[in-house]
Each structure stands twice: as structure tokens, then as C-alpha cells.
Amino acid sequence: MSQTQTQVAIIGGGPAGLLLSQRLHLEGIRSVVIERQSREHVLERIRAGVLEWGSVEVLRDSGVGQRMDLEGHVHDGTGIVWGGEHRLSLNTRAAVGRPMMAYGQTNITEDLYNALDARGASIIDSAEDVTLHGLDTSNPRVTYDKNGARQELECEFVAGCDGFHGVSRESIPRNVRTEYEKNYPFGWLGIMSETPPLDEIIYANSDRGFALCSQRNPMLSRYYIQCDLDANLNDWPDERFWEELKVRFPQDISASIVTGTSIEKSIAPLRSFVSEPMSYGRLFLAGDAAHIVPPTGAKGLNLAISDVFYLSRALACFYREGEERFLRDYSETALRRVWGAARFSWWLTNLLHRFPDQTTFDLRAQEQELGYLAQSESYMKAVCEQYAGLPFED
Ligand code: FAS
Ligand code: PHB
């Protein structure tokens, strides 16, 4: 078995792992990224599309904001329509002074890979059987198979950025972990089409279920409709998708939707999940490895970025000043923001979707809350500050 050394072993080459590698590099801290899939596989994933302004600033501060600033779509308001005729705007710039940015996660991952490649960063992809050892010691190790040969990476810290199905969270003893989970009785059927998007991102609460019109660039649109958990993509040819999407919006909006051939189509289940604590010995979790939120609030990717902001600050403080305070407080600090976003995403999912067991009372309560949000300045401000993303803690 060949041995190598580094300061921080990063498990997972998605947005969290790549951004952490980049931020540690800027602090002069060495790391190795170990990714299970091929790079092509990672870059084929189509996921998030909306960034909080705090995330925009972290990406710029990390030296990977150039293309985002050129191609991203800064917008002040996000629409919500309901009851076939009512509508409101979550105008975050007006309410809390922070706009939002539409810029796809795929682009962010590409920008990060380009930055890491430009400095010859150590990224090991297609790594198999990744296993973490000695997490409760000061010299943890990571073993993995690469091209059929067992490898060992000695390190001082392990960052678990390997998503919900990764190995890191499960490497924390079960009697140490507390998991909070809620599974929703529906999924999102999403498509990407090379068509001009609407001017703004709009959520719909309709009697046929939730729908969302979003965007990636002036010729790339992203759309979603709430679907049954057992929905089959084969039952959803493009024509059926477009017809269903349009009936869930008021006529003036659906008439503006430019349809076209889908270039990607997928169904994602919705889940709320938080695992506590987010650290164990020399292991620190960041991103989906520790938490999952329903995409309704556009929080998943943004939480991964805020976790990485906190973790990179904590590791920089340790290596620069020998100060362990931020490492010791990392889990509690990150979890305060995680739970804020998890609760908000749960709340907005309940407000905008149709649930099988909903009563007529539930539906009237949804309508009343949307109407109250539309006319209450204080309620609107409270919702906008959460949609825009709460400020990071010092
Ligand atoms: P990721 O899952 O992106 O990356 C983890 C990486 O670790 C992967 O590349 C994986 O291959 C690798 N890995 C896994 N196990 C490993 C192992 N044992 N060893 C080494 N590597 C391993 N968020 C939004 O805000 N809006 C959305 O619309 C949205 N849509 C989504 C749709 C889907 C289908 C999914 C799954 C998520 C969606 N999300 C959305 C959330 C998503 O954007 C995540 O929050 C984001 O990818 C989090 O990034 P990471 O924490 O890096 O995790
Ligand atoms: C997206 O553009 O993919 C998107 C936008 C807003 C959401 C979720 C996903 O809440």
C-alpha cells in the first residue's frame, strides 16, 4: 500500500469539497480531494440554481466568482402565485437589502474544478472503498482503492464533504449521532430546456400541485412540477410535462413559457434531514453529508457554502494561530444556520405543495397565509431575510 501525507483530507469532490480545497489553498493549507465518481459524472449532475448573496460573496472571496459575475442573473424578486390569480414578490433587495443570484451549481462545480486544476491541486477521482480511520486521534488516515491498488493518505484533519450517501457521516459512531428526518410524500420532476426563461423565478401553489419556473442563462431554462413519489419518467414525455406545467400557472404567465425539447429530465425525492453533531474528533462534516433540505427554499447548495466558510475559517485559525476555538465551535455554529434553513425550507414546502392528507381547512389556511404574506410588511421582511439567507456569524 502506497502512503501519502497531507494536512486536510477532503472526502467528496462536489461543491463543498472543491470549495473547501480552494479556500484552504488560499490560506496556505495543503489538502487532497478524494472523489468516488469520475469527473465527468460529477459535472453531469444538474442540481441547484439560486445563490444567496452571502454565497456570491464567498465564491468571489474564494477567487472563483469571475464567470458567475459575467453569466449569473442578479435579481431582486422571486414570485409566488396561487389560487390561479393571486401573486406576490419576495423582493429581498427591497426588504433586506440583499438580491439573489441565479447561477447553476454545475457551473460552480466547473469553475471550482478549473481553479483547482490551474494550481495543480491534488484531486483523486474514481476512488473506491474510501474508509476513514483514527478519527478520534490526532493523526487520522484515509484508505481507498485507486486503479485496483490500495492507497493510504495520512492527514491531520478529515473533511466529510461526500454528500448524503457518503461514508463520512456513517463513520461517526451511531451512539454519538442524533438524526432528524422528515420524508415528503411527493417528488419534483425537473427538466432543463434550451429555451429563453421567464424574466423572474416564480413558484406556484396550484390545485394540481407545486410548480417552479427558473433559469440558468438567457437560453437555458429550468422547470419543476410536483409529482408522485412513484412517478416514472417514461410516463412524462415533454408534451405532457409542458402541458402540466402551464396549467399550474395563471394564463398570462403560462402564455410566456417557451417550450422546447428537454435536454435533461429527472425526479428528485424531497427530504428534510439533519445529523448532529457535524464533527467527531478530527472529522468535520460539511454540506449534504450532514444535512438535506427540500429544494423549495433553494438552500441546499447555500448551506454547503456556509458550512465551508465556517470550516475553512476554523482550520485557518488553527494552522495560523494554533487557536482551536472555531474548530471546537464549528458544529454548533454551522447547525444554527442549518436549522434556520431547514425549518424555512420545511415551512415553504408545506405552504406551496399539495399533500395527500390535506383537508379543505388545510387548503384555506394555505390561502390565508399567502394572502397575509402578500399584505404584511413585517411578515414579508421576516420571510425575505430567510430566503435571502441569514448573515454568517462572526
Ligand atoms: P454533493 O452530493 O453535491 O457532493 C458530494 C460528492 O461526494 C459527490 O461528488 C459524490 O460522488 C462524492 N462521494 C459520495 N460518496 C463518496 C465516498 N464514499 N468517497 C468519496 N466521494 C464520495 N439544492 C438547491 O439549493 N436547489 C436545488 O434545486 C437542488 N436540487 C437538487 C436535486 C438533486 C437530485 C439533489 C440530489 C440535490 C439537489 N440540491 C438542490 C441540493 C444540492 O445542490 C446539494 O445541496 C449540493 O450538491 C451539496 O453539495 P455537497 O455537499 O458538495 O454534496
Ligand atoms: C433551480 O433553479 O434549480 C431552483 C430554483 C429555486 C428553488 C429550487 C431550485 O427553490
Query: Can you tell me which atom of ligand 1 is nearest the CA of 16?
Result: 52
Q: Kindly give, in sequence order, each residue whose CB lies less than 8 Å from that of residue 183, ignoring residues fewer than 6 positions away.
A: 269, 270, 271
Which residues partner with 164 through β-bridges? none
What's the helix, strand, coil split of the chain in %, to 5?
40, 30, 30
Question: Strand 291-292 vs strand 262-276: parallel, antiparallel, or unpaired?
Answer: antiparallel
The tens digit of pLDDT for each residue in 188-237 reads: 999 999 999 999 999 999 999 999 999 999 999 999 999 999 999 999 99
Q: What angle do CA 210, 49, 303 make, to 5 degrees?
A: 95
Catalytic member of 103, 144, 295, 330: 295
| Cell output for 15 | 461543491
Task: Please count the other Cβ atoms lying within 10 Å of the Cβ belonging to residue 48.
Answer: 22
Most ligand 1 atoms within 8 A of CB, residue of 105, 133, 214 to mutate: 105
Query: Has residue 92 got a pLDDT over 90?
Result: yes
Q: Measure the CA–CA gap between 298 and 266, rounded to whole angstroms.
A: 17
Question: Does residue 228 or residue 1 have the better pLDDT?
Answer: 228
Residue 14: inside a domain: yes
Is position 133 annotated as part of the catalytic site? Answer: no
Residue 111: inside a domain: yes
Question: Cβ distance 214 to 190 under 8 Å?
Answer: no
Q: Is residue 338 within 6 Å of ligand 2 at its C-beta?
A: no
In terms of Cα–Cα distance, which of 389, 273, 288 is closest to 340? 389
Most ligand 2 atoms within 8 A of CB, residue of 192, 212, 267, 293 to mutate: 212
- Type of residue found at 384: C
Q: What is the mean pLDDT of residues 163-176?
A: 98
Query: Can you tell me which atom of ligand 2 is nearest the CA of 216?
Result: 2
- Ligand 2, atom 4, lies closest to the CA of 49
The tens digit of pLDDT for each residue in 249-273 reads: 999 999 999 999 999 999 999 999 9
Query: Can you tell me which atom of ligand 2 is nearest the CA of 297?
Result: 10
Return the SS3 of 82. Answer: strand
Note the ligand closest to the C-alpha atom of 130: 1
Is position 387 annotated as part of the catalytic site? Answer: yes
Query: Can you tell me which atom of ligand 1 is nearest the CA of 307?
Result: 51
Catalytic member of 203, 280, 319, 330: 203
Is position 265 annotated as part of the catalytic site? Answer: no
CATH label of the domain that carries residue 58: 3.50.50.60
Residue 259: inside a domain: no
Residue 10: inside a domain: yes
- Type of residue found at 292: I
Cα–Cα separations (whole angstroms), residue 211 to 21, 194, 221, 269, 311: 36, 19, 14, 15, 35
In terms of Cα–Cα distance, which of 347, 311, 341 is closest to 326? 311
Q: What is the pLDDT of residue 2?
A: 84
Q: What is the mean pLDDT of residues 238-245?
A: 98
Q: Measure the CA–CA gap between 166 and 93, rounded to whole angstroms.
A: 37
Is position 319 annotated as part of the catalytic site? Answer: no
Residues with CB under 6 A from ligand 1: 11-17, 34-37, 42, 47-49, 105, 127, 130, 161-163, 165-167, 268, 287-288, 295, 298-301, 304
Q: What is the pLDDT of residue 3?
A: 85
Provide φ and ψ at 37, rounded to 5°.
-90, 175
Residue 93: inside a domain: no
The tens digit of pLDDT for each residue in 317-355 reads: 999 999 999 999 999 999 999 999 999 999 999 999 999
Query: Has residue 288 got a pLDDT over 90?
Result: yes
Residue 386: inside a domain: no
Q: Measure the CA–CA gap between 57 and 53, rounded to whole angstroms.
A: 6
Q: Is residue 389 within 6 Å of ligand 2 at its C-beta?
A: no
Provide φ and ψ at 393, rounded to 5°.
-80, 145
Note the ligand closest to the C-alpha atom of 300: 1
Question: Cβ distance 46 to 295 under 8 Å?
Answer: no
Q: What is the pLDDT of residue 263?
A: 96
Is position 224 annotated as part of the catalytic site? Answer: no
pLDDT-derived band at 66, boundaries 50, 70, 90: very high
Cα–Cα separations (whole angstroms), residue 20 to 13, 141, 142, 380: 10, 19, 17, 34
Residue 129: inside a domain: yes
Residue 210: inside a domain: no
| Strand (E) or helix (H) holding 118 | helix 105-118
pLDDT-derived band at 1, boundaries 50, 70, 90: confident
Catalytic member of 25, 73, 75, 291: 75
The domain in which residue 36 lies consists of 2-73+101-181+271-352
Note the ligand closest to the C-alpha atom of 15: 1
Q: Give how many domains the chain has, as a whole number.
A: 1
Provide φ and ψ at 15, rounded to 5°.
-55, -40
